Amino acid sequence: MAAQTAEKVQEIREVTRIERIGAHSHIRGLGLDDALEARQVSQGMVGQLKARKAAGVILEIIKDGKIASRGILIAGQPGTGKTAIAMGMAQALGTDTPFTSIAGSEIFSLEMSKTEALTQAFRKSIGVRIKEETEIIEGEIVEVQIDRPATGTGAKVGKLTLKTTEMETIYQLGQKMIESLTKEKAQAGDIVTIDKATGKITKLGRSFTRARDYDAMGAQTKFVQCPEGELQKRKEVVHTVTLHEIDVINSRTQGFLALFSGDTGEIKSEVREQINAKVAEWREEGKAEIVPGVLFIDEVHMLDIECFSFLNRALESDMAPILIMATNRGITRIRGTHYTSPHGIPLDLLDRLVIISTVPYDEKEIKQILKIRCEEEDVEMSDDALTVLTRIGMETSLRYAIQLITAANLVCRKRKGTEVDVDDIKRVYSLFLDESRSTQFLKEYQQEFMFNEMNEEMETS
């Protein structure tokens, strides 16, 4: 019986341990040194030295807050690490700078217009830094003394003795404070903070000096050190919130719950104007700072001509974030028009962008990336297998090779091996077709598929 339950517990743990691994989960930063030179292999990034260095330079400018209304386009063939560079930039920026990442096709929805979706994405990428300041009294309770009137009714009075490591003092208590103290069940030995403005009492935990083995106490009792320094402290907290969050809270129809449900709907332009005015006023008074963040639009060729003209206009606003876009298209048709343009982006927008280009990885780099992915996915692979996989990656695509890692690992586990071998790679290579082999297969057996005559018609027309 006991063994059975133990097994069950293990089972549950097994389930919670499984985590999904994203395609770019191994990226920790751009992998640059202090002089902004790109290291060959660092922080999950491999190769693309020029592009990474360029991204690093832009990152420095963003950190200094020097550029606004600027756009960057990362262009390159599929599987050359465009998204990886954007992810690296996001990681390197840290949590203080807002970073929003959307895919070009995300803005097409029935619930809101394209421009609304873009506006929301823009406002999600602009931070407002504000400071909150509160006066608090923080100390360990030495003694609470409450005098009840003999008649049973009437106002109670009391005394509260608080101390820090430096000092000790007595506070006279009124009716209200006594009530909130009893409500919090604060007693001698507790560490409490009292908000001076509101009189709110918060219990932080029990003092370490009161920790005794024989005390009957709940498991959740927290022990904290007796506070140091002065009793009456000033607490300053700096927050960075995004304009979009302020928008959502202040658009009355939804209330703040909309922020968490994810479905915010359209926000009235009057609300936005009011908030812009308020933030501008705060900025004048020195109460707020604007933190221009980064908006990353992947697959930007999926935007249509209306979105591009919106972007043109939005980039000129004085509170615009840095816009980073990525595309894998060459000269192609601009969506929504009959005109073709480089990268599928109108020339007037392209003129406002600086372009970083990525180049295909060479064999050594592909091997290195596959190695990093093996580590990320917890897969042991023999050197020979890695060489074979690298060749596959060179001949097909890097993504296909990366996908084979997990599949090969499963095959290896099935034969109870500890290390993925050349045979495992061969087996999954024969099981899963890559794009070119699949195309070849289709061409060979076209006659046996359905609707193949339609395809021929289309080709001839």
User: What are the residues binding other proteins (CB under 8 A)?
Assistant: 96, 129-133, 166-167, 169-170, 172, 197, 229-232, 234, 236-241, 245-246, 249-250, 256, 259, 278, 282, 285-289
Find the shortest distance in angstroms from Cβ 241 to other proteins. 5
Find the shortest distance in angstroms from Cβ 288 to other proteins. 7
Number of Cβ within 10 Å of residue 44's Cβ equals 22
CB of 228 or CB of 459, closer to other proteins: 228
CB of 81 or CB of 293, closer to other proteins: 293
| Percentage helix, strand, coil for the chain under 3-state DSSP, each rounded to 5 | 40, 25, 35
Find the shortest distance in angstroms from Cβ 289 to other proteins. 6
CB of 140 or CB of 376, closer to other proteins: 140
- Rounded to whole angstroms, the Cα distance separating 232 from 138 reads 7
Residues forming beta bridges with residue 289, ordered by sequence position: 129
Find the shortest distance in angstroms from Cβ 230 to other proteins. 4
CB of 289 or CB of 423, closer to other proteins: 289
CB of 169 or CB of 332, closer to other proteins: 169
Find the shortest distance in angstroms from Cβ 246 to other proteins. 6
- Rounded to whole angstroms, the Cα distance separating 34 from 151 reads 75
- Rounded to whole angstroms, the Cα distance separating 122 from 120 reads 5
- Rounded to whole angstroms, the Cα distance separating 372 from 439 reads 30
The string of DSSP codes covering 253-291 is TT-TTHHHHS------HHHHHHHHHHHHHHHHTTSEEEE
- Rounded to whole angstroms, the Cα distance separating 251 from 118 reads 18
Compute the Cα dihedral for 326, 329, 330, 333 and give only its sign.
Answer: negative
CB of 258 or CB of 355, closer to other proteins: 258
State whether residue 80 is helix, strand or coil: coil
Find the shortest distance in angstroms from Cβ 245 to other proteins. 5
Find the shortest distance in angstroms from Cβ 122 to other proteins. 18
CB of 218 or CB of 262, closer to other proteins: 262
User: For 38, which DSSP code?
Assistant: B
